[in-house]
Amino acid sequence: MPKQINWSEEYSVKNDSIDGQHQYLFDLCNTLYILVEQTESEQSVKQALLGLQDYIQIHFSDEENYYKDHPMFTDHKELHQDFIKQTNGYIADYHKGSLRLIELADFVGDWLINHITIIDSQYFRDIASSE
């Protein structure tokens, strides 16, 4: 069984709404890991990838609303846009057959964990300290 990413309190940004969305993103990534071993489920993979693309847009929009007044807002938004661009590129490569699903899942999982623990947590700490 491929690895999965599991939510723990160390990933919490202390915002219930955003934490819930992050947990759902973990679930979407874990769905990709599960589908790695189900080679007969190409339609399921397509649905999972579309779901991931759609939810990333929703999540980033919601998250950006929380820190739109943060002095580094533009930098953070650019990180989100870069992730979307990279993810879309990985998905296109997967559909062309030049990328395995596990590579896409690893990219998404690693990016989410790093982004949440390093970037998001700092932004939400900054917001909390300014209130």
Residue-by-residue pLDDT tens, the chain, 131 positions? 568 999 999 999 999 999 999 999 999 999 999 998 887 778 899 999 999 999 999 999 999 998 888 888 999 999 999 999 999 999 999 999 899 999 999 999 999 999 999 999 998 888 888 76
CB atoms within 10 A of CB 65: 8
- Distances in Å between the Cα of 7 and the Cα atoms of 4, 20, 72 are 10, 10, 26
The whole-number pLDDT of residue 33 equals: 92
The whole-number pLDDT of residue 93 equals: 94
Burial of 35 (C-beta count, 10 Å sphere; 0-12/13-18/19+) = buried
The whole-number pLDDT of residue 2 equals: 63
* Global pTM value: 0.92
Q: Which domains does the chain have, with CATH numbers?
A: 16-130 (1.20.120.50)
Q: What is the 3-state secondary structure (H, E, C) of the chain?
A: CCCCCCCCHHHCCCCHHHHHHHHHHHHHHHHHHHHHCCCCCHHHHHHHHHHHHHHHHHHHHHHHHHCCCCCCHHHHHHHHHHHHHHHHHHHHHHHHCCCCHHHHHHHHHHHHHHHHHHHHHHHHHHHHHHC
CB atoms within 10 A of CB 123: 19
